[in-house]
Amino acid sequence: MKRFILVVLDGFGIGAMNDTPRVRPQDTGANTCLHLLEKMPELSLPYLERLGLMNALGQEAGRLRYSPRATFGRSDLAHYWADTFAGHQEIMGSTPRKPVEMPFSQYIRAVGDLLRSSGYKVEFRGKELKLLLVNGAITVADNIEADLGLIYNVTGALDQAPFAEVLAVGRLVRSVVPVSRVIALGGEGISTADLLGALEEKDGKFIGVNCPRSGVYRQGYRVIHMGYGTDPERQVPTLLGRCGIQVTLLGKVADIVENPYGTSRSCVDTAAVLDLTLTRLRAVREGFIATNVQETDLAGHAENAEAYAGKLVIADEYLGKIMAELADDDVLLVMADHGNDPTIGHSHHTREKVPLLACGPKVPPGYFGHRATLSDVGATVAEYFGCPAPENGKSFLNLLTGNTGNNP
């Protein structure tokens, strides 16, 4: 039996990175973990405490203390800004590449020409600002719900165009635009009129479908995220799958990381996704299980520290149950993908270092370093299973099987 379980507490950072004042000044002073504990000093997280959360934070806070037998490290983000999608691509072994920030209007002609030459019917819709309507049922436009200029949406009315068609259009768009992400998404029970009726313009430069208002999320929602410069063929799920290793992605990671040989299941509720993790752990004798706990991040976006703490309490309880299930050669690694400090004064992600907290029956205590990239996790997972290394990252498996580090 040999299992590697990865739990990503989405948005649970441990302090602003050194480059934050220069590259993301609005996040200066962010520290999601510390500020939560300062705001709620009675917060109890016994399993995260045992795993070494305070060790990784570098100070004790509230009721939480250093753990003398913790196996822990920290990691910077190598990707630009602070992003869940980019963070998970980095975790899975991709080298982050800097995308551009550009309204879709700058690429609408090139995208339209490519789609027409590929056999699609393409119409320009809108007044002064335009978007594309493809085959009468799919819009291609700016994403107006995230940071403007970084993401383009390919949105389909799935009763009129199957999701496979939406995804095919999305892949063509992805091939010619250098923004950080292209999202292919769609829903059932909506029409083209619903999509076009939910058009919004922002800043005089961006036009897109307001997805919640269009109804795209209500029924039969499907989504695939495609990042800039990412190659799934060189990421951990594909590499492990080709080696015959079972790969299970649960929660938001199932939406944003390709897993062609394994099992992926989207889920938002914290208790539900961690219950799925436990169920899978009990069913699989060998394999890689990666889970994203999304509701911490959602609470950060809502700037609701109390809700954030409540989700951490649920996650902590389940981490105790997962730890109790670990067999001889198993490894559990708990981490984050960026910060989302609900006390910083804005509702966006924060550019923070993240904790790396490991345990397992054979994992020795100690400090395994401050990693330069989240990809070191992917490289470690690949080496653990004896599979080819991903594109990026340096494994620290030797420090989990015979630690040579010292506490800072």
Q: Is the pLDDT of residue 405 over 70?
A: no
Closest CA to 80 of 130, 23, 142, 30: 23
CA pair distance 313, 292, nearest whole angstrom: 15
pLDDT of residue 232: 92
Residue that the structure tokens 């198993």 belong to: 330
CB of 291 closer than 8 Å to CB of 6: yes
Express each pLDDT in 237-295 by its tens digit.
Answer: 999 999 999 999 999 999 899 999 999 999 999 999 999 999 999 999 999 999 999 99
Compute φ and ψ for 251, nearest 5 degrees: 85, -155
CATH number for the region 2-97+231-401 comes to 3.40.720.10
Whole-prediction pTM: 0.85
CB of 246 closer than 8 Å to CB of 264: no
Q: Is the pLDDT of residue 29 over 90?
A: yes
Any idea what the Cα angle at residue 165 is, between residues 164 and 166, rounded to 5°? Answer: 90
CB of 45 closer than 8 Å to CB of 53: yes
Percent of the chain with pLDDT over 90: 87
CA dihedral sign of residues 43, 61, 366, 237: positive
Helices 270-283 and 305-324: angle between axes, nearest 10 degrees: 10
Residue type, 278: L
pLDDT of residue 309: 98
**C-alpha count within 13 angstroms, C-beta hemisphere, residue 123:** 12
Q: How many CB atoms lie within 10 A of CB 388?
A: 14
Q: Is the pLDDT of residue 408 over 70?
A: no
Over 149-218, what HEC string results?
CCEEEEEEECCCCCHHHHHHHHHHHHHHCCECEEEEEEECCCCHHHHHHCEEEECCCEEEECHHHHCCCC
Mean pLDDT of 47-70: 97
pLDDT of residue 407: 34
CA pair distance 281, 294, nearest whole angstrom: 20
CB of 154 closer than 8 Å to CB of 173: yes
User: Residue 368 — pLDDT band, cuts 50, 70, 90?
Assistant: very high
pLDDT of residue 97: 86
pLDDT, averaged across the chain = 94
User: Residue 404 — pLDDT band, cuts 50, 70, 90?
Assistant: very low
**Residue range(s) of every CATH 3.40.720.10 domain in the chain:** 2-97+231-401
Mean pLDDT of 371-398: 97
CB of 335 closer than 8 Å to CB of 9: yes
Closest CA to 337 of 72, 93, 108, 9: 9
pLDDT of residue 402: 65
Strands (E), 258-349: 263-265, 286-293, 331-335
Sorted by sequence, the CB contacts under 8 Å of residue 127 that are 6+ apart come out as none
Express each pLDDT in 320-365 by its tens digit.
Answer: 999 999 999 999 999 999 999 999 999 889 999 999 999 999 999 9
User: Residue 14 — pLDDT band, cuts 50, 70, 90?
Assistant: very high
| DSSP assignment string, 1-63 | -EEEEEEEETT---SB-TTHHHH-GGGTT--HHHHHHHH-TT---HHHHHHTHHHHHTS-BTT
Mean pLDDT of 124-150: 92
Q: For residue 106, what are its two tokens?
A: 């700058």
Strands (E), 76-147: 122-125, 131-134, 138-142
User: Residue 403 — pLDDT band, cuts 50, 70, 90?
Assistant: very low
